[in-house]
Amino acid sequence: MSIANKITKKTIGQTQLKVSSLGFGAASLGNLYKAISDEEASRTLHAAISQGINLFDTAPRYGLGLSERRVGDVLRTIGADEYVLSTKVGRVLTPDVNADTSQLRYGFDTPMPFDAHYDYSYDGIMRSYFDSLQRLGLAKIDILLVHDIGFDTHGEKDDYYFEQFQTSGYRALEELRQQGLIKAVGLGVNETAICERVMELGQFDCFLLAGRYSLLEQDALSSFLPKCEAHGASIILGGPYNSGILATGVKGPDTPIYNYEPAPANIVKKVARIEEVCAEFNVSLAAAALQFPLAHPAVATVIPGIDSADRAIKTSQLFSEQIPMQFWQTLKQQQLIRQDAPVPGEV
**pLDDT tens, residue by residue, 75-103:** 999 999 999 999 999 999 999 999 999 99
Q: Which of 57, 109, 119, 307 is catalytic?
A: 57
| DSSP character string of 104-164 | -BTTB-----EEEEE--SHHHHHHHHHHHHHHHT-S--SEEEEES-SHHHHGGGHHHHHHH
Contact yes or no for 296/227 (Cβ under 8 A): no
The arithmetic mean of pLDDT across residues 165-184, rounded, is: 98
Q: Which of 34, 38, 83, 88 is catalytic?
A: 88
What does the alpha-carbon distance between residue 212 and residue 192 come to, in Å, rounded to a whole number? 7
The arithmetic mean of pLDDT across residues 15-44, rounded, is: 97
Q: Which of 62, 83, 161, 258 is catalytic?
A: 62
109 is catalytic: no
CA nearest 20: which of 49, 45, 59?
49
- Which tens digits make up the pLDDT trace of 98-135? 999 999 999 999 999 999 999 999 999 999 999 999 99
Reported pTM = 0.96
CA atoms within 13 A on the CB side of 61: 19
224, pLDDT greater than 70: yes
Per-residue confidence (pLDDT) for residue 1, from 0 to 100: 35
Cα distances (angstroms) measured from residue 167 to each of 121, 164, 201: 8, 6, 10
183 is catalytic: no
| Residues in contact with 224: Cβ distance below 8 Å, sequence separation at least 6, in sequence order | 192, 195, 196, 212
10 is catalytic: no
What is the overall mean pLDDT for the chain? 96
- Which tens digits make up the pLDDT trace of 310-328? 999 999 999 999 999 999 9
